[in-house]
């Protein structure tokens, strides 16, 4: 894999994580448990989509085939997306969304902290902005995790179930991808193994304050780094890409 | 729901009857009412922006941020449960504020200074 | 101590002097009731309005369009919140207001009982529906009740981006492919008349007009506002090549405004009384997600009570 190919795939993945997360979070619009939270979740979605736009635009430049961020978002197929599997899972109930947000935001907190010092200027710039957003996402999710875990019997049960079900999708966070092997030595990319322990510590702290029993470790889901996704992604893309695919000559 | 009682509605002419619907099972509320104050520029006053619903301070702050500062309107936020706001009654306005009207000696312009005196 | 007569006199004096009435001021019970109904229905409209537009977020045809639509709908939710806040100052809880909406005791703007069937509807809704709302809301900035007026000022600042967003979508499509142009004109055809109905019946036919004007809750008549909307919008349509679906639309040189065809008030009455394309769907959606959120609200309360111990 050349450096250019690695950088293209690396930035695609960063963009795709934002895009698919944003797409899922925006499903909460007009469905939130209270109006204030509807607006809060929409803000999270907007942050993610904005970040996706920035990374996909850069990815297009790196690839060098004149593709815009929209070309990349709306015209790639299921096997060309590199978002982490967890991001494409359905939103589930509010506990599921909160648990997902805790796990991913904690990961992104450490990822973007490291990428803020990337030797690639563009990645560093986007990451410096992202880290401010992610800190808020993490605070918001962590506070809700604490409330639900210590709220009622029902909220605690739902939250525990959510963490238990999502746990097998966390292994992927710390797989060393081919792109990382190429780009990490020059510190363009982050070395995810560097913060795996810190992430575990943070998650365990959140489990403790949420009165949650840490899920038992077991087999981990995998595949997104090779574009092998869950069955959910295809449906998500059908909906997201519909207008561009139905009207290929149209400019929107 | 004590959120409104602290504001002291004038009850002499119009009785306000709060009809609270009894929901079955546990209480299902829209949480509590909080008042929001936003400081625009650092060093400026916090101004009342409106209210939000929340069940604790962290939620109230985050909600206030999401609702009232999306367009760069804020550098600091204060939130307070509405029930803690104590407000003056409008029919007391003349008793509270009129007496200040004629005490013009509190204003520097009341005083005639000798010609030529500086920095006074 | 002020007598009842004094307090009511001072209320009307304030109104006549264009002073604001604030939450702690004495006010006639009918004034309070009128405001609760009007402000809450305005708030409900914003919240219900999130649904037809929310329908297209997942299919927005570009990343920019997706962000803009999300931000717009977020604003609508925010407007609902400002208005619920203003309404709560009148001594009613948000639980009660939501209950009124869900039992049908309170209404919301009729316009949202129509379906958003194509992407072009996002353009039509932003341009026409928000455009009509702006005309109404600018007028309401001078309403007599302080919290309502202040909410309106805030809302008006945010609303003009909404209209521009919609108009931009339409303008863009009208410069596009044949299919895009047809889609835009089709959306225009379906949203024009319902938008005119947003201003309400002719003032002669409106039951609560009298008090609304005496108390300066309402500052200008339905017909005047409707005419203002038509006059500015026709020009905007012409600039981008859209046709207004009204064969009786004609410029009146003497009045310096457009004469227009008669509005189908039977349709208006039918839809507002429950028999519209989306009435049931909008309410079912609101009730469903409110119920699904119950355990979350209960958990937040339970956590709060534990913290207090």
Q: What is the pLDDT of residue B107?
A: 79
Q: pLDDT per residue over B45-69, tens digit each?
A: 999 998 999 999 999 999 999 999 8
Residue of B6, B3, B62, B66 lying closest to B30 (CA atoms): B3
Give contacts of B28 with chain C, Cβ < 8 Å.
95, 294, 297-298
Mean pLDDT of B31-42: 91
Helix (H, G, I), strand (E, B) or coil at A220: coil
Interface residues from chain B to C (CB-CB < 8 Å): 1, 3-4, 7-10, 12-14, 16, 18-21, 26-33, 50-53, 55-56, 59, 67, 70-71, 87-91
Question: Per the CB < 8 Å rule, is B62 touching A34?
Answer: no
pLDDT (tens, 9 = 90+) of chain A, 252 residues, equals 999 999 999 999 999 999 999 999 999 999 999 999 999 999 999 999 999 999 999 999 999 999 999 999 999 999 999 999 999 999 999 999 999 999 999 999 999 999 999 999 999 999 999 999 999 999 999 999 999 999 999 999 999 999 999 999 999 999 999 999 999 999 999 999 999 999 999 999 999 999 999 999 899 999 999 999 999 999 999 999 999 999 999 999
Considering only the beta carbons, identify the residue of A32, A69, A243 that sits closest to C59. A243
Beta-carbon contacts of C88 under 8 Å, excluding residues fewer than 6 positions away, are B3, B4, B33, B51, C94, C97
Considering only the beta carbons, identify the residue of C57, C297, C303 that sits closest to A26. C57
pLDDT of residue B29 exceeding 70, the answer is: yes
Considering only the beta carbons, identify the residue of C7, C22, C86 that sits closest to B12. C7
Asked whether this complex has an ipTM greater than 0.90, the answer is yes
User: Subunits touching A (CB < 8 Å, at least 3 pairs)?
Assistant: B, C
Is C119's Cβ below 8 Å from some Cβ in A?
yes
Q: pLDDT per residue over C203-230, tens digit each?
A: 777 766 778 888 888 888 899 999 999 9
Q: Which domains does chain A have, with CATH numbers?
A: 3-215+223-246 (1.20.1260.10)
Q: What is the pLDDT of residue A231?
A: 98
Q: How far is C298 from chain A (nearest CA, A)?
A: 7
Q: What is the pLDDT of residue C186?
A: 98
| Interface probe, candidates A25, A32, A35, A36, chain B, greatest B C-beta count within 10 A | A36
- The confidence band for B102, taking pLDDT boundaries of 50, 70 and 90, is confident
Between CA C148 and CA C162 the distance in angstroms is 21
Q: SS3 letters for A42-72?
A: HHHHHHHHHHHHHHHHHHHHHHCCCCCHHHH
User: Subunits touching B (CB < 8 Å, at least 3 pairs)?
Assistant: A, C
Q: What residues 70-99 of chain A have any CB closer than 8 A to a CB of chain C?
A: 70, 73-74, 93-94
Q: pLDDT per residue over B62-94, tens digit each?
A: 999 999 988 877 789 999 999 998 888 776 777
Question: Per the CB < 8 Å rule, is B30 touching C27?
Answer: no
Question: Per the CB < 8 Å rule, is B30 touching A34?
Answer: yes
Give contacts of C51 with chain A, Cβ < 8 Å.
30
pTM for the whole structure: 0.90
Where are chain B's structural domains? 2-88
pLDDT of residue B25 exceeding 60, the answer is: no
Between CA C246 and CA A23 the distance in angstroms is 39
Domain B2-88: assigned CATH number: 3.10.20.520
Q: What is the pLDDT of residue C116?
A: 98
Considering only the beta carbons, identify the residue of B58, B67, B70 that sits closest to A36. B67
Q: What is the pLDDT of residue B23?
A: 39
Ranges of beta strands (E only) in chain A are none
Tell me the sheet residues that pair with B36. B50, B79
**Chain A: residue whose CA lies nearest to B64:** A36
Give contacts of C304 with chain B, Cβ < 8 Å.
31-32, 55-56
- Cβ B89 vs Cβ B10: under 8 Å: yes
Residues of chain C with pLDDT under 70: 1-8, 207-208
């Amino acid at each position: 894999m050349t450096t250019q190919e690695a950088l293209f795939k690396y930035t695609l993945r960063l963009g795709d994580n934002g895009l698919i997360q944003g797409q899922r979070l925006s499903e909460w619009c007009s469905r939130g448990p209270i109006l204030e939270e509807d607006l809060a979740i929409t803000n999270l979605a907007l942050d993610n989509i904005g970040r996706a736009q920035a990374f996909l635009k850069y990815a297009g430049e790196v690839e060098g085939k004149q593709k815009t961020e929209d070309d990349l978002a709306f015209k790639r197929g299921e096997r060309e997306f590199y978002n982490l599997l967890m991001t494409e899972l359905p939103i589930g109930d509010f506990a599921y969304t909160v648990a997902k947000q805790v796990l991913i935001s904690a990961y992104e907190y450490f990822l973007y902290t490291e990428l803020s010092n990337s030797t690639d200027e563009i990645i560093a710039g986007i990451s410096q902005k992202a880290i401010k957003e992610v800190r808020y996402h993490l605070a918001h999710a962590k506070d809700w995790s604490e409330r639900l875990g210590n709220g009622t019997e029902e909220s605690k049960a739902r939250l525990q179930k959510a963490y238990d079900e999502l746990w097998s999708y966390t292994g992927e966070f710390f797989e060393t991808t081919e792109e990382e092997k190429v780009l990490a030595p020059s510190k363009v990319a982050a070395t995810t193994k560097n913060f795996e322990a810190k992430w575990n510590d943070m998650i365990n702290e959140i489990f403790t304050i949420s009165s949650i029993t840490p899920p038992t470790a077991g087999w981990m889901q995998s595949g997104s780094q090779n574009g092998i996704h869950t069955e959910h992604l295809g449906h998500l893309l059908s909906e997201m890409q519909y207008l561009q695919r139905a009207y290929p000559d149209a400019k929107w | 729901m004590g959120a409104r009682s602290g504001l002291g509605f004038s009850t002499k002419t119009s009785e306000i009857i709060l009809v609270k619907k009894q929901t079955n099972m546990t209480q299902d509320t829209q949480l509590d009412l909080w008042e929001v104050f936003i400081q625009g520029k650092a060093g400026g006053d916090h101004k009342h922006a409106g209210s939000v619903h929340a069940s604790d301070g962290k939620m109230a702050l985050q909600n206030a941020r999401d609702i009232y500062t999306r367009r760069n309107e804020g550098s600091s936020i204060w939130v307070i449960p509405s029930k803690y706001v104590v407000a003056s009654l409008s029919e007391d306005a003349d008793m509270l504020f009129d007496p200040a009207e004629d005490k013009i000696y509190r204003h520097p312009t009341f005083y005639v200074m000798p010609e030529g005196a500086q920095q006074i | 101590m002020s007598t009842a007569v004094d307090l009511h006199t001072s209320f009307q004096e304030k109104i006549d002097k264009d002073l604001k009435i604030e939450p702690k001021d004495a006010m006639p019970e009918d004034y309070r009731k009128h405001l609760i109904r009007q402000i809450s229905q305005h708030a409900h409209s914003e919240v219900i309005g999130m649904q037809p537009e929310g329908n297209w977020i997942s299919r927005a045809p570009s990343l920019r369009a997706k962000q803009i639509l999300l931000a717009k709908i977020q604003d609508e939710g925010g407007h609902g919140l400002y208005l619920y806040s203003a309404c709560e100052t009148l001594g009613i809880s948000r639980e009660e207001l939501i209950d009124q909406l869900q039992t049908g005791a309170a209404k919301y703007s009729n316009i949202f009982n129509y379906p958003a069937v194509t992407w072009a509807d996002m353009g039509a809704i932003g341009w026409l529906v928000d455009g009509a709302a702006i005309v109404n809301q600018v007028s309401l900035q001078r309403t007599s009740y302080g919290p309502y007026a202040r909410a309106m000022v805030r809302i008006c600042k945010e609303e003009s981006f909404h209209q521009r967003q919609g108009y931009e979508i339409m303008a863009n499509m009208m410069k596009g492919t044949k299919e895009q142009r047809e889609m835009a004109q089709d959306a225009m055809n379906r949203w024009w008349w319902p938008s005119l109905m947003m201003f309400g019946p002719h003032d002669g036919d409106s039951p609560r007009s009298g008090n609304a004007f005496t108390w300066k809750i309402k500052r200008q008549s339905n017909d005047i506002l409707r005419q203002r909307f038509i006059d500015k919008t026709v020009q905007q349509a012409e600039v981008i090549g859209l046709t207004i679906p009204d064969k009786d639309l004609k410029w009146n040189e003497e009045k310096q405004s457009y004469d227009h065809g008669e509005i189908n008030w039977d349709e208006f009455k039918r839809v507002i009384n429950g028999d519209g394309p989306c009435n049931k769907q909008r309410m079912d959606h609101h009730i469903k997600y409110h119920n699904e959120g119950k355990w979350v609200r209960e958990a937040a309360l339970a956590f709060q009570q534990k913290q207090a111990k």
